[in-house]
C-alpha cells in the first residue's frame, strides 16, 4: 500500500469514526482508526506510513485535534491534514500550514472528495 493511500481517522464518536472509515475503505483507501490523539500518535509512529490525517478537534485525551494536527505537521511534514468540528470554525491562521477545515455535519461523500483532493 502506498503511503498516500493510507488515511488515519481520529474521532471519539464511534458511529462517526466507523462510518467515515468504512466510506474511505469503500473508496479504496487503507484506513487506521483512533479515538484520541495519543492513539493516533502511536499509529503515526508505527511502520505503516500515513498519507493523510483526518481529525476532529473536540476529543478527550492529552490534546485536542488541533494540537494533534500541529504536532503531525511538525513531526511528519509530508502528511496531509484535514481538521473537522461541529462546534466551532477555527480561524484559518490557527490551522497548520497546508491543512484544510471541513465543518460538521458533513456527508460521507464530502469526506471522500476532501481526502481525494488533498491526496491528489
Work out the end-to-end distance of the chain between its first and last CA atoms, rounded to an integer number of angstroms.
Answer: 16
> Options 3.40.50.300, 3.40.640.10, 3.40.50.2300, 3.40.1030.10; which CATH number does 3-119 get?
3.40.50.2300
For the full predicted model, state whether its pTM sits above 0.85: yes
Cα 7 to Cα 80: distance, rounded to the nearest angstrom: 9
The grid coordinates listed for 27 are: 473508496
pLDDT in tens, the chain (120 residues): 444 599 999 999 999 999 999 999 999 999 999 999 999 999 999 988 999 999 999 998 889 999 999 999 999 999 999 999 998 899 999 999 999 999 999 999 999 999 999 998
Amino acid at each position: 500500500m502506498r503511503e498516500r493511500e493510507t488515511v488515519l481517522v481520529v474521532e471519539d464518536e464511534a458511529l462517526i469514526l466507523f462510518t467515515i472509515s468504512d466510506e474511505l475503505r469503500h473508496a479504496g483507501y487503507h484506513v487506521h482508526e483512533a479515538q484520541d490523539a495519543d492513539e493516533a500518535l502511536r499509529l503515526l509512529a508505527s511502520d505503516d506510513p500515513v498519507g493523510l490525517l483526518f481529525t476532529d478537534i473536540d476529543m478527550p485525551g492529552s490534546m485536542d485535534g488541533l494540537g494533534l494536527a500541529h504536532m503531525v505537521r511538525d513531526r511528519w511534514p509530508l502528511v496531509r491534514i484535514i481538521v473537522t468540528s461541529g462546534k466551532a470554525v477555527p480561524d484559518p491562521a490557527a490551522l497548520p500550514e497546508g491543512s484544510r477545515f471541513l465543518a460538521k455535519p458533513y456527508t460521507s461523500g464530502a469526506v471522500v472528495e476532501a481526502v481525494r483532493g488533498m491526496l491528489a
